[in-house]
């Protein structure tokens, strides 16, 4: 399955950054993801799907963010997609509870993230309800936000309302499992943002 090209073209128009090699980028993302999945070795850590991974990778390439915030790391597949696509002077700040993932053989948070990408990465451990606002104050403005933590209405609403005053002019918000509650749609409606379904249960928002 391939990404809907019209979705990518919508991002291109917003960021005035045309991608000539869309399918090459998608293939590049897929190859990179397969290497990560080898580390997961058939286990299910609720990692994002192939299309979701490709979209996240390409969205970062197109939007060229300087500061990205991500809530929910898990094994680190989405984190790796963002880090791989980020420019060398950009930074990803990730938030996670810090629990281990797995059953018989537990693995630490972010265990699939390649070591060579970690120079652009900062991991904040703890509940984002307690840690997110402090880091937002520290960084001021963010260009991209990816939510993949607790998917309750209250928590999603908290995270989105917290980042709202800190969004840069050319922001993009990406949400996984966005259809678990009406929080993303309510937030988009209340702020006149455009919400676009990407694939599976991932969406993005722009103004």
**Residue 105, pLDDT score:** 63
> Where does 108-182 have alpha helices with state H?
128-139, 153-163
Strand partners, 196: 204
**Residue 2, pLDDT score:** 77
Sheet holding 142-147, edge to edge: 121-125, 91-96, 67-71, 142-147, 167-176, 202-206, 194-199
**Residue 18, pLDDT score:** 87
The answer to whether the CB of 132 falls within 8 A of the CB of 150 is no
Q: CB count, 10 Å around CB of 37? A: 17
Is the torsion defined by CA of 172, 149, 44, 119 positive or negative?
A: positive
Tell me the two tokens of residue 195.
């919400």
157: alpha, beta or left? (left if phi > 0; alpha if psi -120 to 50): alpha
Which CATH number is 161's domain given?
3.40.50.150
Residue range of the domain that includes 51 = 5-206
How many domains does the structure of the chain reveal? Answer: 1
**Residue 188, pLDDT score:** 98
CA–CA distances in Å: residue 133 to residues 56, 78, 118, 203 = 24, 22, 23, 23
**Residue 20, pLDDT score:** 86
Q: Longest Cα pair distance anywhere in the chain, in angstroms?
A: 48
For residue range 134-169, list pLDDT tens digits in order. 999 999 999 999 999 999 999 999 999 999 999 999
**Residue 136, pLDDT score:** 98
Q: For each successive 10 residues of the chain (207 residues), what is the average pLDDT? A: 85 91 91 88 70 95 97 94 97 91 72 96 97 97 97 98 97 97 98 96 96
The answer to whether the CB of 176 falls within 8 A of the CB of 78 is yes
**Of 42, 121, 51, 125, which is closest to residue 88 (Cα–Cα)?**
121
**Of 92, 110, 91, which is closest to residue 100 (Cα–Cα)?**
110
**Residue 37, pLDDT score:** 79
**Residue 182, pLDDT score:** 98
**Residue 43, pLDDT score:** 67
User: Whole-angstrom distance between the N-terminal and C-terminal Cα of the chain?
Assistant: 28
């Amino acid at each position: 399955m391939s990404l809907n090209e019209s979705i990518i073209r919508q991002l291109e128009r917003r960021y005035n950054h045309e991608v000539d090699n869309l399918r090459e980028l998608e293939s590049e993302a897929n190859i990179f993801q397969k290497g990560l999945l080898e580390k997961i070795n058939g286990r299910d850590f609720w990692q994002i799907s192939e299309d979701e991974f490709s979209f996240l990778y390409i969205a970062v390439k197109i939007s060229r963010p300087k500061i990205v915030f991500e809530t929910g790391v898990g094994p680190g597949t989405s984190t790796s997609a963002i880090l791989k696509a980020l420019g060398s002077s950009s930074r990803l700040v990730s938030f996670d509870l810090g629990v281990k993932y797995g059953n018989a053989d537990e693995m630490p948070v972010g265990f699939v993230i390649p070591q060579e990408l970690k120079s652009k990465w900062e991991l904040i451990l703890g509940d984002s309800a307690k840690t997110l606002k402090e880091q937002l104050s520290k960084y001021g403005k963010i260009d991209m936000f990816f939510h993949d933590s607790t998917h309750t209405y209250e928590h999603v609403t908290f995270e989105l309302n917290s980042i709202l005053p800190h969004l840069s002019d050319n922001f993009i918000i990406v949400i996984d499992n966005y259809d678990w509650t009406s929080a993303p749609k309510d937030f988009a409606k209340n702020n006149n943002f455009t919400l676009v379904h990407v694939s599976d249960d991932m969406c993005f928002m722009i103004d």
